[in-house]
Amino acid sequence: MSAASGSIPVITIDGPSASGKGTVAERVAVALGFHFLDSGALYRLTALSAMKHGVALDDEAGVAALAAALPAAFRDGAVWLAEENVTDAIRAEIVGEGASKVAALPAVRAALLDRQRAYRQPPGLVADGRDMGTVVFADAATKVFLTASAAARAERRYKQLIEKGNSANLPSLVADMRARDARDAARTVAPLKPAPDALLLDTTHMDIESAVQAVLAHYRSRQ
């Protein structure tokens, strides 16, 4: 990373699945006029690409090769894989599970590292994920770790799925959420954990706007 890019402000927002980090990060980016990186989308795109190409999710070399050459684009409020709009496809539960599996592969994380750092452009960046503050942008001045109880997060995911016309089972979602948390926290490379200098924000009983304002206040206090 160059000295010039190091002077560009970055706000990292990490946390477990369905903690609200994506929505909060996007709104904070809009409020500040910053760029936005949904790092989880890159892992979801990698998993989706592997599924489309018939590459096993535990084939580290095969998945890493796909990640390195991923034809991903974020434009017009949509996520693209080559020329296909996959905005909805990458949000499917099976793709989310796949993303968690490929994210545990060191070669895949290495392949996506430089791609994520390239999003650091003026006037600033808000990056959400699981290791934004600990690995990808460890030098960021403003770090936030969003969390919420597994039950609260499963309920949010349940409502999202029902609103989109998908079937969902709440107890299964709670179990899946806990299993994914355990896998993300236990992986050897970039495990899910708050950076030592991150603001811990529990959103179990907090609405999105309150969380956005808390992050903005924290950012301004660091200036």
Supply the CATH number for residue 176's domain: 3.40.50.300
Return the H-helix or E-strand segment holding 100.
helix 93-102
Sorted by sequence, the CB contacts under 8 Å of residue 139 that are 6+ apart come out as: 1, 6, 10
More confident residue, 168 or 108: 108
In a domain? residue 102: yes
Q: pLDDT tens digits, residue range 36-57?
A: 999 989 999 999 999 999 999 9
In a domain? residue 78: yes
pLDDT of residue 4: 55
What global pTM score does this model have? 0.83
- The encoded tokens of residue 1 equal 């990373």
Domain residues for 138?
10-212
The residue to which tokens 């991150």 are assigned: 198
In a domain? residue 4: no
In a domain? residue 3: no
Question: What's the whole-number mean pLDDT along residues 70-94?
Answer: 89
pLDDT of residue 2: 47
Cα–Cα dist 196/194, whole Å? 6
How many domains does the chain divide into?
A: 1
Contact indicator for 47, 102 with CB cutoff of 8 Å: yes
